[in-house]
Amino acid sequence: MYLMQNAIRPYPWGSRTAIATLLGEPASDEPQAEMWVGAHPGDPSHLHTGVGDPSAAPTSLLDYIQQNPSRAVGGAVAAEFGEVLPFLLKLLAADAPLSLQVHPTAEQARAGFADEEARGIPVDAGHRNYKDPFPKPEMIVALTEFVALAGFRDTAETVRLLNALDVPAATALADTLRKQPGADGLAELVPSILAMPAEKLTAALDAIVGACRTAAGQDGEFAAEYRTVVDIAERYPTDAGVIVVLLLNRVVLQPGEAIYLGAGNMHAYLSGLGVEIMACSDNVLRGGLTPKHVDIDELTRTLDYTPGGMQRVKPSRVGPLEVDFRTPTSEFALSRLTLKSGDEQMIEHSGPQVLLATEGEITVSDLRDGTLTLKPGSSVFIPATPGRVWISGTGTVFRARDGLGVPKKTAVAAAPAEDAVSAVAS
């Protein structure tokens, strides 16, 4: 097992304080949006492999896997996904909205990647949609209060939200959904909003955002949704995505709660700090709220318009110290261990794993490499070679691994409070 050195990505929407505070460091001079923990080619972690020699240069986890595939990821992972680490773990800290985005299915990713390769579009081109042939399901577990937009709201509720604004631009949207409720109505409405002519869009935004500003101050049923629209419109005043925001579920996660975002789910993180895990892919189709490339045609072909896409994940207790956040995917699995003084958890492993501490001081021991100590933000990579590790100390640590052989569970519509997890055996 090896201590990891992880890169922090300075995207403009990141927080200057959230990750720094978790690491016990002063506020950063630049935004710190994501800390990547894994073997993504864009910013792979590095391993301290020089046992007994602290001056040895760290080794890229990507290189380590390529040089030691059997030991690093094992036969089962290689057979299913290739000689790669199939998941990417992150600390994500949002201080401003991310783009409205959707991720493709495996079939869409393969077809889209093959098409763009055949057309000779460079992988690093700004207008490239598919950087690889893989899907990108993902899940985030909140460490602080975490606010997101995720999936389309029930259309009957959206009709009430739009009509309550009492302006013709919003009423016209509501009429479309009233006459054609559900996915069919959304499939007609969303592309029409995103392709709205500039003059009509300007008038609609002026009327709708103005009405939202008034309604947000009245503390009614949808006040939080209206405030979100106003806040986003201040950053993107001419973006059609501002109107699409009114169609999406606004999700507030408390620490320990999670949402799973499968293929086709339109979403945008708004604020908060969380642990995110995803398939190791770069495929993002953006629908607005960004200066980056937006491909409306490809986005609308990829979207799942089914209402009710707010998929909260109910944690399942698998032991006195550990809960699983189960999803339908095989690329990743994630659990959380919470330890008090004197606690110890033994884990048998036969696949690659990453441990990421988020609180306290965690000790990880094995018979081969001895003992490593993890502070918040520290992580360790455990190769696939079968063995055991012992986790002890006081604090919280997340355990990421591939999802092969892990019990699956479809995401559910509501999550319990932090201490109300179900006691379901693995």
SS3 of 266-330: the string is: CEEEEEEEEEEEEECCCCCEEEECCCCCCCHHHHHHHCCCCECCCCEECCEECCCCEEEECCCCC
* pLDDT per residue as tens digits for the range 247-284: 999 999 999 999 999 999 999 999 999 999 999 998 99
Burial of 54 (0-12, 13-18, 19+ CB in 10 A): exposed
Residue 53, pLDDT > 70, answer: no
- Tell me the mean pLDDT in the region 6-22: 98
Q: Percentage of the chain surpassing pLDDT 70?
A: 94
**Is 267 within any annotated ligand binding site?**
yes
3-state secondary structure of 173: helix
- Tell me the mean pLDDT in the region 393-403: 98
In order of their start, the domains of the chain are: 2-147 (2.60.120.10), 313-401 (2.60.120.10)
Angle (CA) 260 253 224, round 5°: 115
Supply the DSSP symbol for 245: G
Beta-strand runs (E) in 145-224: 146-152
Residue 416, pLDDT > 70, answer: no
**What pLDDT score does 273 carry?**
99
**Is 46 within any annotated ligand binding site?**
no
Residue 297, pLDDT > 70, answer: yes
* pLDDT per residue as tens digits for the range 315-351: 999 999 999 999 999 999 999 999 999 999 999 999 9
Based on the residue annotation, tell me whether 399 is a catalytic residue of this protein. Answer: no
Residue 393: half-sphere exposure toward Cβ, Cα within 13 Å:
21
Which residue out of 128, 153, 286, 401 is catalytically annotated?
286
User: What H or E segment, with its residue span, contains residue 3?
Assistant: strand 2-5
Mean pLDDT across the chain, nearest whole number? 93
Residue 412, pLDDT > 60, answer: no
